[in-house]
Structure 1
Amino acid sequence: MSESGPDFSLATLNPDATASNSSIITEISVTPVAFADPPLLNSVGVHEPFALRAIVVIRTEEGLYGLGETYGDEAHVARLNRAASMLVGADAFNINQVSALVTESLREDSGLGGHGTGGMVTTTSLEDRVLSAFDVACLDIQGKALGVPVSMLLGGAVRDEVAFSGYLFYKWAGHPGHAPDAWGEALDPAGIVAQARKMVNDYGFTALKLKGGVFEPEIEAATIEALREAFPEMPLRIDPNGVWTVETAIKVGRRLEPVLEYLEDPCLYIADNAAVRAVVNLPIATNMCVVSFNDVPPAIAAGAVDVVLSDHHFWGGLRRSQALAGIAETFKLGLSMHSNSHLGISFAAMIQLAAATRNIDYACDTHWPWKLASDDVIVPGVLEISGGSVKVPTRPGLGVELDEEALARMHQQYLDCGLTKRDDTTYMQSIHPDFQLTTPRW
């Protein structure tokens, strides 16, 4: 054993002791895929015509397989592949071993470059964001081997359905050069209210969240007020993705105190959010300034947040997300879940985690309604939003099965679309050359 802990290199594995173990990993595939994405506007630009994800499939000696899903930017995929090559021979029940091998695979990471997970959040833990998909896939295998759902492995389900919020976006009618999509244009309060009505009518959502940071704060505040008029009893949230100054956040926050359930990431930094929280009578939520375990102590010390929006893709998988839930319970923080554009494997993982996490206090975020029903890698029919909630799958593992043909089709879609990383800003600038990425903006 080394001073830094046990050596989990392949050479230390005893094949004689593990030959009959159904959880020994024999093969791992990492497949980047692409799926159609509407032109959803945000503080850094606009979603491109395709979103990218990576699908991890871990197989064992006795034919079990486990599924994981994560970001699909090429730098992240390269890291996943390097970790996968080291995990062959490991035990899917030994998450400590898997975690140590992932960390080992990242010891010399300078050649890959880039954050690799797209979007706006770039301060997450490298080890945790690579580990996450492998952790989920291993738990899927464990559940299948034992004949129980992942929620049971996480302590048992405390709810049989998980509530989600309708995620509203300012958007164009369609991508330039393409026909309008089924959602149509939403560039003002009336457009967002119409979008919300469709969300509520189609999925039964009982909470709504607006992605802000797109227009002047006065317009976005008016949009929230229009939603309150249209949905008098609906919990409402707004997320400007940290592009407001402290002064703006205080002004808008005070205006919306009677309206909002919580204010999410009005500012980018812990100190600024603490300054807002000190004078605005609203809970402050975050998935930007608290995105790793290192962020928790300074945020609590500063009194910066009331609600942490966890994301198992950031926090190292499902068990480490439960560790975060324990911290939130200890320090009396609210807890919910952040979402990025995702497919059914991530959705199933979110649902299993939320089912077993007692202190999920708010309806979770999801992009699920924004993707085409035909764009997924799982066999359809298991995950459906009805009445704003999804029933927790009770079949072994995650409760979803891989559609091999769909995986191949969506990988070809990835190859054909030509995208290798998410870049909302460059795409926006190709359409509006005067667009500038600035933080804070208002």
Structure 2
Amino acid sequence: MSKQHTIRRVHVTPIAFRDPPLLNAAGIHEPWALRSIIQIETSCARVGINETYGDQAMLDVLAKAAPALEGLSPWDLNAMETRVRALVQPDGHTSEFLGEQISLAPGTHVSKNVAKVISAFEVAMLDLQGQLANAPVVDLLGGAARDAVPFSAYLFFKYAEHIDKPYAADPFGEGIAPAQMVAQARRMIEQYGFKSIKLKAGALPPEQEVAALLALAKAFPGAPLRIDPNANWTVATSLKVVEQLRGVLEYYEDPAPGLHGMAEVARASDVPLATNMVVTDYKEFADNVRLGCPVRIVLSDHHYWGGLRTTQQLARLCQTFDMGLSMHSNSHLGISLTAMTHLAASVPHLAYACDTHYPWQDEEIVQGGRLQFENGSLRVPRGPGLGVSIDPQALERLHDNWLHCGTRNRDDLGQMRKYDPTFTGKQPRY
């Protein structure tokens, strides 16, 4: 590789964008979601891009690791990983979430720092590789197993607007009662064409959440339905709920805490269990196998698993042990969604429609504006690399949001205490 194709510098730009008051087991989303935009510039002035987490802990480790890329070729992914591992040490004791609650997903936990930084740089380097080879990232991953990737409607119980009213209310309105959740789903499906529905649970008493899912089953007969209480139910509650939803669920996501809690649920229920909380790395995958695979579906996330290539390896393992695979999401914009689409298209063993928070976001960072779904799916971009580029004006605007929003770490618990000062975030709560 000629010297003109070496990495000259890495830019990390923190951004913030509007996030609705979505309820979850830990509390409620703050008004601003945080992300960071990665730009890796080569000596020939090409720029590879990516989007990843944006909490202060992540910004700190990205800044620490970024200089290690200087002088590498965009093709030197193994060397990049070696340098990152030498600089960034995992820490299993603290979380990017503030407060006392259990983190809802490993992407919020600094114990995943190494994997998160490797992924952040890997995707941008693959974008550069694609530009240099005049090939889309999906082709660098072995080619497309599908031309379009299906995604699921992702429903949340929510308030009509944030308590501090920092900006105008979102168009979805309140989502608490079953009829409101049906209206939320109908609006999302009409706009995006989704074929399956996931309900984020663990926020309200289980009987209210069951009523909402049963209303969805009646309103959308035949649509695959999932429910995800983020481990906020005891084993007893989990089993009570799954019995009430007999014949309704496509899969049951993280009902009870811990792998052993999930195993108890699996022994007493025939609905397949899915997770993005207890199988989050290869060690935990092995633990699940030793227990006889109580978790049948892994909801992967390249942001914290360590990138696109390692997620392909995960897919092969899932296939080997007769487990399903799909993808988890967090509040994100178009670069992350595009990287997910390339990855999901490259994985033959994609068993279920992927998650996405994208309908809840009304901003965008890529040129051309919001990505367009067709019948609930996204077509795989065929341009070089990721096939999207950054809109400089959007980047400036969203960085200005970050400068002025005052949020540096996600704190769903603290935000919820503005509504209910007695809220503890203790889990499992029901």
TM-score, with structure 1 as normaliser: 0.92
1:173 aligns with 2:163: no
Partner residue in 1 for 2:309:
319
1:71 aligns with 2:61: no
Aligned-pair CA distance for 1:304:
2.0
Contact 1:73/1:420 (CA < 8 Å) preserved in 2?
yes
- % identical aligned pairs: 46
Give the alignment partner of residue 153 of structure 1, picking from 116, 140, 147: 140
Partner residue in 2 for 1:335:
325
The secondary structure found in structure 2 opposite 1:435 is coil
Amino acid across the alignment from 2:156: F
Amino acid across the alignment from 2:391: D
The secondary structure found in structure 1 opposite 2:176 is coil
Partner residue in 2 for 1:8:
none
Give the alignment partner of residue 376 of structure 2, picking from 352, 377, 388: 388
Provide, for residues 253-287 of structure 1, a one-character-per-residue CA deviation record: whole Å limited to 9, x for no partner: 12212001000000120011011011111010000
Aligned-pair CA distance for 1:115:
3.2
Amino acid across the alignment from 2:425: L
User: Please, what is the CA RMSD of the aligned residues?
Assistant: 1.6
Contact 2:225/2:251 (CA < 8 Å) preserved in 1?
yes
1:115 aligns with 2:102: no
Structure 1 window deviating more from structure 2 (382-391 vs 166-175): it is 382-391
Amino acid across the alignment from 1:170: F
Provide, for residues 29-74 of structure 1, a one-character-per-residue CA deviation record: whole Å limited to 9, x for no partner: 0111000000000000111111000111001111211111111101
CA pair 293-113 structure 1, distance change in 2 beyond 3 A: closer
Amino acid across the alignment from 1:320: T
Partners of 2:78 and 2:283 lie apart in 1 by 20
Amino acid across the alignment from 1:235: P
Provide, for residues 132-160 of structure 1, a one-character-per-residue CA deviation record: whole Å limited to 9, x for no partner: 11010000000110000000000000111
Partner residue in 2 for 1:412:
400
Amino acid across the alignment from 2:343: L
Partner residue in 2 for 1:208:
197
Give the alignment partner of residue 274 of structure 2, picking from 285, 310, 316: 285
Partner residue in 1 for 2:249:
260
Partners of 1:242 and 1:339 lie apart in 2 by 17
Partners of 2:394 and 2:276 lie apart in 1 by 31
Aligned-pair CA distance for 1:328:
0.6
Partners of 1:139 and 1:180 lie apart in 2 by 38
Provide, for residues 393-439 of structure 1, a one-character-per-residue CA deviation record: whole Å limited to 9, x for no partner: 00010110111221111111101101001111101112210111111
Partners of 1:322 and 1:300 lie apart in 2 by 18
Amino acid across the alignment from 1:72: G
Aligned-pair CA distance for 1:116:
3.5
1:104 aligns with 2:93: no
Give the alignment partner of residue 136 of structure 1, picking from 123, 136, 142: 123
Partner residue in 1 for 2:172:
183
CA pair 426-381 structure 1, distance change in 2 beyond 3 A: closer
Aligned-pair CA distance for 1:380:
2.1
Contact 2:97/2:411 (CA < 8 Å) preserved in 1?
no
Give the alignment partner of residue 218 of structure 2, picking from 221, 224, 229: 229
Contact 2:254/2:273 (CA < 8 Å) preserved in 1?
yes
CA pair 175-429 structure 1, distance change in 2 beyond 3 A: same
Amino acid across the alignment from 2:421: P
Contact 1:71/1:116 (CA < 8 Å) preserved in 2?
no
Partners of 1:304 and 1:127 lie apart in 2 by 28
CA pair 407-180 structure 1, distance change in 2 beyond 3 A: closer
Structure 1 window deviating more from structure 2 (245-254 vs 122-131): it is 122-131
Structure 1 window deviating more from structure 2 (124-133 vs 138-147): it is 124-133
Partner residue in 2 for 1:60:
42
Contact 1:283/1:305 (CA < 8 Å) preserved in 2?
yes
Contact 1:257/1:281 (CA < 8 Å) preserved in 2?
no
Partners of 2:153 and 2:5 lie apart in 1 by 38
Partner residue in 2 for 1:90:
72
Give the alignment partner of residue 25 of structure 2, picking from 39, 43, 51: 43
Partner residue in 2 for 1:10:
none
1:421 aligns with 2:429: no
Amino acid across the alignment from 1:385: F
The secondary structure found in structure 2 opposite 1:306 is strand
Aligned-pair CA distance for 1:129:
1.4
TM-score, with structure 2 as normaliser: 0.95
Partner residue in 1 for 2:231:
242
